Structure 1
Amino acid sequence: MLSILAVFGCFAVFMVPGLCCREKEYATSNGECCPMCHEGTVVKRDCTPFSGTRCVPCVHGTYMNQPNGLNKCFPCTSCDQGLFAKQQCTATSDTVCGVLEGYFCKLKDDTGCSLAQKHRPCESGHRIKTPGTNTSDTECEPCQHGFFSEHGVDCTAWTTCSETQVMIHEGDAHSDVVCKATEPRVHYFLSIPLLLLLLTIVGLRIKGCWNRHLPEDLCYETLVTCVIMLSILAVFGCLAVFMAPGLCCLEKEYKTSDGRCCPMCHEGTVVKRDCTTESGTRCVPCVNGTYMNQPNGLKKCFPCTSCDQGLFAKQQCTATSDTVCGVLEGYYCKELRDDTGCSLAQKHTPCESGHRIKTPGTSRTDTVCEPCQPGYFSQYGLNCAAWTICSETQKKIREGDAHSDVVCKATASRVHYFLPIRLLLSSLTIVGLLIGG
């Protein structure tokens, strides 16, 4: 029986060592217990009786988010169409994907969103009832009577033709009312009151001249003076006809280069041709990459703002609104615009080795770093980890500092004798009982 026990003991020595590895240790292929590698690193070489575990950092595009005994880092997740890197992949954490403006998430996973789809556009004659979000698609509804939507964004009330225009085309859900000018507007407000006033004065003077039986020469002189004044008034009246038309354009009208008043174009469109006596203003939509956010009499749309490095299109440019730029994860805004969001972003400052991130950077502020306290180290400038305490079977061969950990060396290969000892004691007890019996 003792021989059998010896055989089992020998097997236990060579087969059991990895069964009771400690929490921060891993079992090697030959059954040894070795210290695990930290987050952000993996095993290059297992420990030996003469050296500890040799670890190497994860290369760019890979990560390791846990203490481990693995030989390869995990590949970073890539953010596909409609997604952006909300949190960049680092040596210790995977990419977290966010949803770009104009898309919604169709499939979520542990790292955020893995599949996004573009918001559906509303058709002409409809408006956006509920705008799409990063979790839901757009909801559309048809325009009510008396409103139209050419591009499927908002429903706009039909234009009411002015007093100097006639309706030549009824509006519907897809297009506006079309008005036609009856004649160019001529402002007589300046000439008519003056004419009435002058005629009154002339009439009174002529009447007084003959009623008082003044000499005919004087009356004729008075008449000639009145004729001259009427001629001067006629000249000013002509000037008013040609110069005054644009002085009193209505609120939704603009003044042309030749002084006429024409109806303005709607948001999202600009003037292709000014109105004439036969037709209203001809408008054209803003092309891709341009917008117009107000009623206007302009010939060109405004160019859309482009989001540069560190920024993403939080709200895409449309025919009626400019791009609104948001800040990517890992950057902060240095120049903020009220109407288009952020115009200039800068990458968060990385903390140096021997320091940790005291306050993580946000979209508005940079990273704040601080040095590690004694007894802690930071190899990559992320967190300060406590120095490793060498186990009973190891000895310290290098002190730790703010940049690197303590280095331990195994004194001898650990052999777990707990199984053969228990078997030996049990067998000796049985032998003793048999002999005593």
Structure 2
Amino acid sequence: MRTVFTLCALVTLLYLVSCCEKDTHYSKDGKCCKKCGPGKRMLVDDNCEDPRCQDCQDGEYQSGYTSETRCERQPSCDPNLHFLPQNEPSKTRLSRCQCEPGYYCTQDDDCDTCTKQTVCKPGQRVVKKGSPVSDTACEACEHGTFSTNDSSDTCRKWSECKSGYVQNTPGSSNSDQTCVAGTPTYGVLIGVGVSLLIVASAVFVFIKKRKSGCYKLPKKTIEVLTHGENEDVERAYRPAIQQPQEDIDHSVPVSPTLSNLTDNGNYVAQEDGKLTITPTTESNSFS
């Protein structure tokens, strides 16, 4: 009889254990007790078959059945760290933080930090746009194309110079080429530079050959040039000589009269500078 009772007890215990579902029940003191459902926590486990459960508070969650008396905390999504604020987060599942536009986080670190998206610079184009969990991928513009703005989706082709126009400034990865009518400015500068170089080379060769005696002026030409220079120098430094001037007698001839003739009939002339004429006795030239 005693053996039969023992067997019945073992069968009953095995039945209860086998009937205690693992996800929704738990065993306690040989009994199969109920768990609290998702989004709830067990307040007090005083009643195994009908436990008292309470909803998780804001910022908490419980994703499955539990016999725990505390709920899990939702992650803190701080807007100051470039996270988007959580509006009414779920109480039955984990609500991961999300980064604001222009930032991303990786799933490997459960989105604990936000990283700024890469900005494609002028001269590049966007190959793959970023997402909340991936960065932006950039690529340099190919030769003959350019982009001028940040995060350009495409690179544009350089402009082509039409008939009658030539290239003024070459294009680059971040700027278009420009065209002007006629010869470009830089072409004129190159032409002027080449001309000056040719003239300078010719002058240098002439001076070098002249010093070596290849170019000499004829002796006669040198004498003429030298003589002319000497005369110019002498003329410049020659003192001015006052030429003597002859005294010109502007007096009117006097007709011979008895009053201005001597006894022998000679003309009596008055000397310049004398105010009066003093008569003298004429000597006899025949004596």
Bin for the TM-score computed over the shorter chain: 0.3 to 0.5
Q: How does the TM-score come out when normalised to structure 1?
A: 0.29
Higher relative contact order (CA 8 A, sep 6+): 1
Q: Which has the higher helix share?
A: 2
